[in-house]
Chains A and B, each alone.
Chain A
Amino acid sequence: MDAKLTRAQVEDFVFAEADLLDQWKLEEWRTTMLTEDVEYLVPSNDCLEGDHRKVLFTIADNAERIRQRVIRIMDPNCHAEYPQSRTRRLISNVRLLEQNETEVVVTANFICCRYRRFERIRQYTGQYRWKLRNTPEGIRIRERKVLLDAHELGSLGSVSFIL
C-alpha cells in the first residue's frame, strides 16, 4: 500500500470519528478505529504538555480503560451521562505533521458543543492531536490527545463523555 496518507484521507477518517462519537456509536468507534495499544489522553488544563505518568491528567486511558469507559457511559446508571449529552463537534485546520512509513501525527482545531436537559451550552474548544497508524485494514488511532483551551475546566464541569 502507499505509505503516505493524504490530508483528504485523514480528514475523511477524523470526520468519521467525530460522527461516531456524536452519535454515541462508541462500541463501533472503539472496535473499528483504535489500535490495541491506543491511548486516550486529556491532560489537566494547567499541564497540557505533561506526561500522564508524571502529572495528574483528567483522562489517561489505555485500550482496556477505554473499553471499560464505554461500558460505563453507555450504562443508564452512569448518571452523569443519563440522559446522554448531545454533542456536536466541528473540526478544522487539519494538519499532517510528522509522517513516517507507518504513523502520522495529525493536529486539528475543534469545537465540541455539549447540551444536556435544562442546562446551558457547554462549549469545549481546543486541539485534537492524533497519532494515526496506517495499517492494512485502514487508518487506526494509536494516540488520541485532547488539549483544551480553557485554563481550568470551570463551567465545563466534568468530561463524562468521550471528548
Chain B
Amino acid sequence: MTYIIDDKEKKVFLLNREVHVSEQVLTEEVDKIFSKCWIYVGHDSEIPSKGDYVTRKVAGRPVIFTRDSKGEIRVHFNTCRHRGALVVTTPRGNARNFMCVYHGWTYRTTGELHGVPGDDAYTESFKKCEYGLKSPARVESYRGLVFMNLDANAPTLLDYLGPKTIDYLDLIFEQSPSGKMEVIGGTQEYDVAANWKLMVENSVDDYHLPTTHSTWLNYMKNSGVTVEAPKEEGLVLPTKGYAFDLGNGHFTTDNVNFRGRPVAKWIPIYGEAAKPEIEAIRAELVQRLGAERSARVADTNRNLVIFPNLVINDGSAVTIRTFYADGPERMQVTAWAIGPVEESETARAVRLDAFLTFYGPGGFATPDDVEALELVQQGMKNWREDRWSEMSRGYGKPEEEQQLNSDEHHLRIFWRHWNKMMTEGE
C-alpha cells in the first residue's frame, strides 16, 4: 500500500485514508511503531512515596507504574507469571506486595516473585527468581516524564528526544522555580471514535482554530480578551505562530500567546484578584531566566508532539495527553493537568480554572475537536471512493521561509516519519 504521496516537484502532499480505517495497518503499527518508540508511561510525581503505584494501559499494555521499596521508579507488566491474570486491579494505591487474586502469587514492588502458596509442590527446576513480573526492555525518564521502550536496542530516551525537543520540554518545566512540575489530581479519560493518528494531527493543527473553535473565540472576546483579526496576509490566527521540526518525528507549534497563561499572562477571566500574583510569578521568571527566556516561557504557547502519541499542550494551562488505538476507528484518550510543585493554592486554582476554559471533555474547545475528528472518521467510510487526504498547505513556500503553525508542514513531518517507520526494511 502506498501510504503517502509526497511530490517535491509539484509541492503536493497526499495521505492515503486507508491508514485511518485498516486493521492491518494498526497491527503493523503495533510492531513497527509502538514496539520501537519510547512511549509515555507517567510522571514520577504520581508516585511520590515508596510503594506508591498506579495501574494503566500504556500502548494497550496493562502496566503497574510504581516506586519500589528502594525508591526506584519501575514499570511492570501487570500480568501474573503463573497463569496470566491482571495482578493489580486497583487504579492507584500504596503496597508492600502485589498479590494476584487467582492463586495468591505475590510480588515485591521491585517485581520479584515473593510468595507462591504451596510451593513445596514444585520441583527444583521451578526457580522463583525466574518468575518476577516482566518489564519493558527499557524504562528511562526526563524531568520526571517516564517512558518505556519494548526494544532493547533502542537509542537512549535522551537521544530519541534529541536536543530540540528537550529545549521545548525545558521551556515548559521552567515555569516552575525549581524546574519541577507535578501531575495534579483528577484525570480526564474519554474515548474518541476516530483513528489515533487524527489526534496527533488535531493537537498541532492550528489551521482549524477559527472554524472549529469559533465559539471558544467568542467566549474569549465576550470575556474581555483581545482577539484581533490576522494582521498579515497568510495568517488565519490572531497572532503569528510557527511550526518546527524537532527531529525523530517530533514537532511543535510555537506561537505568540493571546489567550492568557497561568504562568505570568493575566487575562480578565482570571479575575482582578489574581492579577498581583500573576505579576509576581512573572517577576520571578524574569529574575531567574532573564528577559528573553522568561518572555519565551510566559508569552508563547506550544503544542508539542513527542512521536508517536504524547502531546504536551502548553497554552491555556499545561496538559499532558496520550492516546492509544482501541481498534482502527476508536481511541482512548487520557489527559492530566500539570503545574509547578511550589504553586500556591490560589495560583493552582487559577491554573485549573484556565485549563477548563479550553481543554477537556467539558471544556469550551476540546468537545468540538472530538466532534471534528469523529466527523472525519465517519466521512472516511468513503475511503475507497475518495482515497486521498490533502495536506499540502504551506508546501510551496520558499525553503528559507518559516512554516506557520497554520500550515501543514508539521503534519507532513509526522506522516513522513510514520511512513518511514512503517515501510523501513520492505
A16 interface residue, CB < 8 Å from B?
no
Stretch at the interface among A3-11, A17-25, A127-135, A150-158: A150-158
B218 interface residue, CB < 8 Å from A?
yes
Do B187 and A47 have beta carbons less than 8 Å apart? yes
Do B186 and A43 have beta carbons less than 8 Å apart? yes
Do B355 and A56 have beta carbons less than 8 Å apart? yes
Do B332 and A159 have beta carbons less than 8 Å apart? no
**Complex CA distance for A75 and B191, rounded to whole angstroms:** 24
- Asked if A68 meets B356 with Cβ closer than 8 Å, knowing A44-B188, A56-B185, the reply is no
Stretch at the interface among B18-26, B70-78, B242-250, B366-374: B366-374
Instruction: Report, as a range, how many residues of chain A touch the other chain.
Output: 35 or more
- Asked if A53 meets B348 with Cβ closer than 8 Å, knowing A156-B190, A157-B361, the reply is yes
For A69, what are the chain B residues with a Cβ–Cβ distance below 8 Å? 364
**Complex CA distance for A153 and B189, rounded to whole angstroms:** 6
Do B352 and A79 have beta carbons less than 8 Å apart? no
Of B185, B212, B353, B362, the residue contacting A55 (CB under 8 A) is B185
A57 interface residue, CB < 8 Å from B?
yes
A26 interface residue, CB < 8 Å from B?
no
For B219, what are the chain A residues with a Cβ–Cβ distance below 8 Å? 68, 71-72
Do A78 and B215 have beta carbons less than 8 Å apart? yes
For B419, what are the chain A residues with a Cβ–Cβ distance below 8 Å? none
**Complex CA distance for A42 and B360, rounded to whole angstroms:** 12
**Complex CA distance for A47 and B215, rounded to whole angstroms:** 29
CB under 8 Å from chain A, chain B span 207-261: 212, 214-216, 218-219, 222-223
| Chain B, residue nearest A53 (CB) | B349
Of A54, A60, A79, A153, the residue contacting B188 (CB under 8 A) is A153
B323 interface residue, CB < 8 Å from A?
no
Of B186, B218, B378, the residue contacting A56 (CB under 8 A) is B186
Do B362 and A79 have beta carbons less than 8 Å apart? no
Do A118 and B378 have beta carbons less than 8 Å apart? yes
Q: A57-B362, A158-B362 are in contact. List 20 more A-B contacts (CB 8 A).
A: A44-B187, A45-B187, A54-B349, A58-B361, A59-B356, A59-B362, A60-B353, A68-B223, A71-B219, A72-B216, A72-B364, A73-B215, A75-B215, A153-B190, A153-B361, A156-B190, A157-B191, A157-B192, A159-B367, A160-B368
Q: Tell me the B residues contacting A by CB distance below 8 Å.
A: 91, 184-193, 212, 214-216, 218-219, 222-223, 332, 336-337, 345, 348-349, 352-353, 355-356, 360-362, 364, 366-368, 370-372, 375, 378
Q: List 13 A-B contacts (CB under 8 A).
A: A47-B187, A56-B184, A56-B352, A68-B222, A72-B216, A72-B364, A75-B218, A77-B215, A79-B371, A79-B375, A81-B367, A157-B192, A160-B371
**A-B pairs with the 8 shortest C-beta distances?**
A56-B186, A152-B189, A80-B367, A59-B362, A44-B186, A55-B185, A158-B367, A53-B349
Q: Tell me the A residues contacting B by CB distance below 8 Å.
A: 42-47, 50, 52-60, 68-69, 71-73, 75, 77-81, 118, 151-160
